Structure 1
Amino acid sequence: MFVSCSEKNFFESHWNHPISEQGLPPLHFSTLEKNLDPKACGSCHKEQFQNWEKSYHSKSISKGFLWQKEILSSKEYQSCLQCHSPLAETKSELSVEFQTPEILNSKLHNFPEGISNPSILCASCHIRNQIRFGPPPKTNLVNNVPSNQVPHNGYIAKKEFDSSEFCKSCHTSKETGVKLNGKRLMEVYTEWEKSPFAKQGIQCQNCHMPDREHSWKGIHDKTFVQNSLQPTWNFIEKNGIYQIQAELKSIGIGHEFPTYIVPKIYLHFYAIQKNAPRILLEESVVGRFVNTQLTEEYFDTRIKPQGSHLVRFDYEPKGKLIKEFLWEIEVDPDEQYIRSFEEQLVEKGNLLSKQSKKFLQESLDTKRNSRYLLFTLSLKVPASLPQ
């Protein structure tokens, strides 16, 4: 029998993979209540649906994911589906192993119009065995209406939905997974657990789901990242040599920045001349750089929570007329994917099916275009006074 999520360890039961099919909806449910498609949920939960629709959770099964089915073993592919498509019903759209009579029957009754997007859906987090779960209400509500007279029998309120541990199942690699230099490929929860944010009781949801917003903004959102970092710099001129110091401080990030191995942050420093091309003085990379085979780590310069990345260097103009110094901070959210996909296109492009190769190329193009300029800072060089 289904182990209720009201048991002592909610997380173990709620994220007990593979998640079982939802089964048949209660007979007294209306047609709308029986439908687990996110659009049906959006009939009442409009704001949550609209935010989810624009989020990366709704795009967890993308072309960048689908093309890889042909190069992954069955075991590897099933492992990916655990987080990218948690429901048994959505998995049946992607893998024959989940096309059992029980799962297909459940899909027929719970998704009567089919599943057009087998990604992370509302039900992936909120429904188990036809029981709805969610966080406690924001305010104390007095409600004496019988549960069978409220939509989908109401829901079971669990405080765990407001806990960082709720996100751990998908945002931290398994202990048995790949480790490089003693670190798992993804340690978001562990990084948070060791941070000052955890000690202060600040959860993942406080930043990524403010006011319970279902958009889960992250590294791809420029404004979100800008509000989490503080760049400061200055220079001192001494005997014709400029001593430049810069600091990029993490002020609102509860894990290492950037987390995981994929994004990279580039710091470029320039000298701007009058009527001449700018001069690149220094460049620095913030990130965890590993090879595409995920077998070797080359460096890890990520910023710890409330920590800083420091850059110091000297520059001697040697007769060049410098007007100002420029510091550009650029974010490449998908650097590791770009490097890996470019390599796969060369090495295995001719072995892929026409559709998979098309998906790979389109995904690569999209990820190449995700790069953006985060900050541009300038320091004017004072004009020399006459002797």
Structure 2
Amino acid sequence: MHIGLRLLLSAAIITASFFLTFCKEEEFHERHWVFPLESQGSLTVDPNPASCGSCHLQQFGSWKSTLHSRAIGPGFLWQLPRIGKHGSENCMNCHSPNPETKNLLLFRLGWGEVSDSIWKPGSEEGGVQCASCHLRKGNVYGPFPKDGNKDRIFQNVNIPHQGFIPQKEFEKSEFCKTCHQSPETAKQINGKFLMDTYGQWRRSEFARSNVQCQNCHMPHRKHEWKGISDPEMVKRGVQTFLQVVPKEEGAEIISELKNTGVGHLFPSYSVPKVYLEILAEFVTGERRKISEKTLGWMLDLELQKEIFDTRLSPGESAFLSANLSKEEFSKLKRVEFIVTVDPKEYYKRMFQDNWNYRDTFREDTKLWVLPNLKKALAEANSAKYELVRLEWKK
């Protein structure tokens, strides 16, 4: 065969192999997360997370404390009668993905019937659970073993689900994309998607360095998915500094918060806000806030208008500064730089606004809506926490 023809044929084979591999990966993602998910059909194993936990004890124990396990909580439930059956089904795609749990929830709202199955009432309260990610049409899927042994036999008739089907996509950011990224057709506010965490990551150095979502949010494959609501997780993603610089005319106070380890904007969504403030305390007993700033994406309650966007890209810093006169500096006793995180700031505003107008709700929905709304508001109001407090003493 002519050498040129052989090279051309080799190139064609390589290209075809790449194309088939790429399409296979895309096919798995599309098949695994196309909404609405297909019914599991008749199952021989109990899909309840507690049943999975009988063997996967560590994963089950971690999952129970996560926001994933509370995706069907009062903040979600109170809204369903107001957005109707169709809107509720769309929301449940991510909050309660399996059609069986979705149907149980719709039944509780009076919007459908539930046939006798292994999915018992109460299953829907688990939110995003084991079956949501790992179970499709009776087959169990998961990542390859950590030892990297891809030759291991994954089918075993001696365990409840006869083994599992390994997929490398379980350790790729794309696996999280469907529920943490607005589709391309979604509405935008000032050119930005409401959910753009995957896009923010994709445009960052973290993606270019092959640092996946799972590396930070599921380290060592822990089923914790910690984020903005977890102080220790947030502390690992930022650095803070405080400096007081004496000058001939007084002093300059400088503080900084830098996004050093968050693989997307900090904070990512429009819901959380991060408050920075510098407090000065004087020998006279006076305590005064001398500088402040809010980090976040502030939108109106209707999610139609951007008020401001001060989120930090990876590697970006926010600075606060203040100048004191020579007389003020002579009386200065202490300076504090305080960082406070409010993970549910938008929800607090939105829940409170709806609670204020609760008398306008339809009478036939109040029995469901009001208790859940009241509890959701209480949870949102209690979510705020102090992240960092740096102190300088004269």
Q: TM-score, normalised by structure 1?
A: 0.89
Q: CA deviation at 1:281?
A: 0.3
Structure 2 counterpart of 1:185? 194
Does residue 175 of structure 2 align to residue 166 of structure 1?
A: yes
1:135/1:248 CA distance change after superposition, 3 Å: same
Q: Is the 8 A contact 2:140 2:161 kept in 1?
A: yes
1:145/1:340 CA distance change after superposition, 3 Å: closer
Structure 1 counterpart of 2:379? 366
Structure 1 counterpart of 2:223? 214
Give CA deviations for 1:172-191 in whole Å, capped at 9, x if unaligned: 11222221110011100000
Give CA deviations for 1:168-217 in whole Å, capped at 9, x if unaligned: 00001122222111001110000000000000000000000000000100
Structure 2 counterpart of 1:385? none
Does residue 52 of structure 2 align to residue 47 of structure 1?
A: no
1:242/1:136 CA distance change after superposition, 3 Å: same
1:100/1:345 CA distance change after superposition, 3 Å: closer
Q: 1:356 aligns with which of 349, 359, 369?
A: 369
Q: CA deviation at 1:20?
A: 1.0
Q: Is the 8 A contact 2:265 2:311 kept in 1?
A: yes
Q: CA deviation at 1:121?
A: 1.1
Q: Is the 8 A contact 1:35 1:112 kept in 2?
A: no
Does residue 144 of structure 2 align to residue 126 of structure 1?
A: no
Structure 2 counterpart of 1:227? 236
Query: Residue 337 of structure 1: SS of its match in structure 2?
Result: helix
Alignment of 1:32-71 (within 5 A): 34-71=45-82
Q: 1:10 aligns with which of 18, 28, 31?
A: 28
1:98/1:329 CA distance change after superposition, 3 Å: same
Which 10-residue stretch deviates more, 340-349 or 121-130?
340-349
Structure 2 counterpart of 1:242? 251
Query: Residue 201 of structure 2: SS of its match in structure 1?
Result: helix
Which AA in structure 2 matches 1:126?
H
Q: Is the 8 A contact 2:340 2:386 kept in 1?
A: yes
Which AA in structure 1 matches 2:331?
L
Does residue 99 of structure 2 align to residue 81 of structure 1?
A: no
Instruction: Report the Cα distance in structure 2 between the residues aligned to 1:67 and 1:87, rounded to whole angstroms.
Output: 20
Instruction: Report the Cα distance in structure 1 between the residues aligned to 2:46 and 2:310, rounded to whole angstroms.
Output: 47
1:337/1:317 CA distance change after superposition, 3 Å: farther
Give CA deviations for 1:263-292 in whole Å, capped at 9, x if unaligned: 000001111122513111011000000001
Which 10-residue stretch deviates more, 187-196 or 246-255?
246-255
1:126/1:258 CA distance change after superposition, 3 Å: same
Structure 2 counterpart of 1:21? 39
Q: Is the 8 A contact 2:101 2:119 kept in 1?
A: no
Does residue 203 of structure 2 align to residue 194 of structure 1?
A: yes
Query: Residue 125 of structure 2: SS of its match in structure 1?
Result: coil
Q: CA deviation at 1:146?
A: 5.7
Query: Residue 148 of structure 1: SS of its match in structure 2?
Result: coil
Structure 1 gaps, min length 5: 382-387
1:298/1:99 CA distance change after superposition, 3 Å: closer
Kindly, what percent of the aligned residue pairs are identical? 36
Does residue 288 of structure 2 align to residue 279 of structure 1?
A: yes
Which AA in structure 1 matches 2:200?
E
Which AA in structure 2 matches 1:305?
P
1:144/1:285 CA distance change after superposition, 3 Å: closer
Q: 2:118 aligns with which of 94, 106, 110?
A: 110
Structure 2 gaps, min length 5: 1-22
Q: CA deviation at 1:99?
A: 7.4
Query: Residue 40 of structure 2: SS of its match in structure 1?
Result: coil
Alignment of 1:319-338 (within 5 A): 319=328, 321-338=331-348
Instruction: Report the Cα distance in structure 2 between the residues aligned to 1:264 and 1:325, rounded to whole angstroms.
Output: 23
Q: Is the 8 A contact 1:88 1:98 kept in 2?
A: no
Instruction: Report the Cα distance in structure 1 between the residues aligned to 2:233 and 2:161, rounded to whole angstroms.
Output: 35
Query: Residue 123 of structure 1: SS of its match in structure 2?
Result: helix
Which AA in structure 2 matches 1:370?
A
Does residue 160 of structure 2 align to residue 151 of structure 1?
A: yes
Which AA in structure 1 matches 2:100?
E
1:358/1:316 CA distance change after superposition, 3 Å: farther
Does residue 389 of structure 2 align to residue 376 of structure 1?
A: yes
CA RMSD of aligned residues (A): 2.2
Instruction: Report the Cα distance in structure 2 between the residues aligned to 1:285 and 1:358, rounded to whole angstroms.
Output: 32
Structure 2 counterpart of 1:263? 272
Q: Is the 8 A contact 1:59 1:119 kept in 2?
A: yes
Instruction: Report the Cα distance in structure 2 between the residues aligned to 1:198 and 1:173, rounded to whole angstroms.
Output: 18
Instruction: Report the Cα distance in structure 2 between the residues aligned to 1:348 and 1:317, rounded to whole angstroms.
Output: 54
Q: CA deviation at 1:153?
A: 1.6
Q: CA deviation at 1:349?
A: 4.4
Give CA deviations for 1:293-339 in whole Å, capped at 9, x if unaligned: 00100110001012111223323364571112111100000000000
Q: CA deviation at 1:242?
A: 1.9
1:98/1:46 CA distance change after superposition, 3 Å: farther
Structure 1 counterpart of 2:352? 342
Q: Is the 8 A contact 1:243 1:313 kept in 2?
A: yes
Instruction: Report the Cα distance in structure 2 between the residues aligned to 1:300 and 1:144, rounded to whole angstroms.
Output: 51
Instruction: Report the Cα distance in structure 1 between the residues aligned to 2:336 and 2:283, rounded to whole angstroms.
Output: 13
Instruction: Report the Cα distance in structure 2 between the residues aligned to 1:354 and 1:144, rounded to whole angstroms.
Output: 53
Q: TM-score, normalised by structure 2?
A: 0.87
Q: CA deviation at 1:116?
A: 5.6
Q: CA deviation at 1:69?
A: 1.2
Which 10-residue stretch deviates more, 270-279 or 57-66?
270-279
